[in-house]
Amino acid sequence: MNRPARLLRSAKPWLAGAGLALLAAFNATASATARTLLPPDAAATIGQRIPFDGFVDDDGHAFSTEPPEEQLERDRQPWIISPMYTRCAGTCPAITASLRRALDKSGLAASEYRVLSVSFDPNETSDGLRQFRARMQLPADWLVLRASDPQALERTLKSLDFRTITMGDGNFEHPNLVAVLAPDRRLAGYLFGVNLNAADLATMVRRANAGVSAVDAWRPYLLAIAALGFFASGSLFVWLLGKRRRRSRDPLSCQKRGQG
């Protein structure tokens, strides 16, 4: 009759320890958030259409992601988006060089994708884009873009959930990543880091070529759903133990069981 009570008492230290661990993790996360730049929230962005209205290339020509009708079938390719700014002396050129190497090793044909290096510097210039292209020795079909007005830049960065911090010297702190879009410009996913893996890049480009499915759009939520299910199961277990404990203390319940 006392077994449920013993189980509940033995469970209490574990539950208390788990609660303290969760609280410590939350506090650590909150503290880290205050000091570091968060990466994009894939749960909020995958499946969203990314706009590039109001962007121009290094020759100053307006950029459009909508090809002429006669080119529509030929130009329906996934997009590899590489956010950067041309004055960067650190990770931006490193990611650009890494992306070139990864594409060379990926086994992807040049006709299977398009690459856009997109500056997130609101003061970017066409001269800066041309110098970046020459310095990085980019292929002719690799586009480099800047926004022609701050509103266009804000729309695109917000849709990618790409946040930056302007430093005192005018440079930027920013996430290190490339984004891959489906041919209809819906976000398929991100690849994080400075050194990009060729196999991962090829997989994401080919998956993006098939379009962003409902499963892709919901995939970022699966971990949260699993955690919620685990919490609900644990809560149900503790509630059942408590219910059995209360019944064991009820003299009428014990008397009925004894009569039975």
pLDDT tens, position by position, for the chain (260 residues)? 455 445 445 545 444 444 444 444 444 433 333 345 789 999 899 999 999 999 999 999 998 766 544 444 545 799 999 999 999 988 999 999 999 999 999 999 999 999 999 999 999 999 999 999 999 999 999 999 999 999 999 999 999 999 999 988 889 999 999 999 999 999 999 999 999 999 999 999 999 998 775 445 444 444 455 456 555 556 665 666 666 666 666 555 555 555 55
Angle between helical axes of 222-249 and 3-35 (0-180°, round to 10): 150
Q: How far apart are CA 50 and CA 182, in angstroms?
A: 10
Single out the residue of 160, 158, 151, 150 nearest to residue 116, CA to CA: 160
Alpha carbon distance 63, 56 (integer Å): 5
How far is the C-alpha of 238 from the C-alpha of 251, rounded, in Å?
22
Q: Of the candidates 154, 155, 157, 138, which has an alpha carbon nearest to the alpha carbon of residue 83?
A: 157
> 172 forms bridges with which residues in the sheet?
166
**Smallest Cα–Cα separation from 237: which of 1, 14, 23?**
14
- Beta strands 165-166 and 114-119 are unpaired
pLDDT at 15: 46
pLDDT of residue 123: 94
| Domain locations in the chain as residue ranges | 42-212, 226-260
The answer to whether the predicted template modeling score (pTM) of the entire model surpasses 0.75 is no
* The CATH classification of domain 42-212, taken from the options 3.40.30.10, 3.30.70.120, 2.60.120.10, 3.90.78.10: 3.40.30.10
Q: How far apart are CA 209 and CA 206, in angstroms?
A: 5
Residues paired with 157 in a beta bridge = none
DSSP string, the chain: --HHHHHHHHHHHHHHHHHHHHHHHHHHHHHHHHHSPPPP-HHHHTTPBPP-TTEEETTSPBP-SS--GGGTTTT---EEEEEE-TT-SSHHHHHHHHHHHHHHHS---GGG-EEEEEE--TT--HHHHHHHHHHHT--TTSEEEEESSHHHHHHHHHHHT---EE-TTS-EE---EEEEE-TTSBEEEEEESSS--HHHHHHHHHHHHT---HHHHHGGGHHHHHHHHHHHHHHHHHHHHHHHHHHHH-HHHHHHHHH-
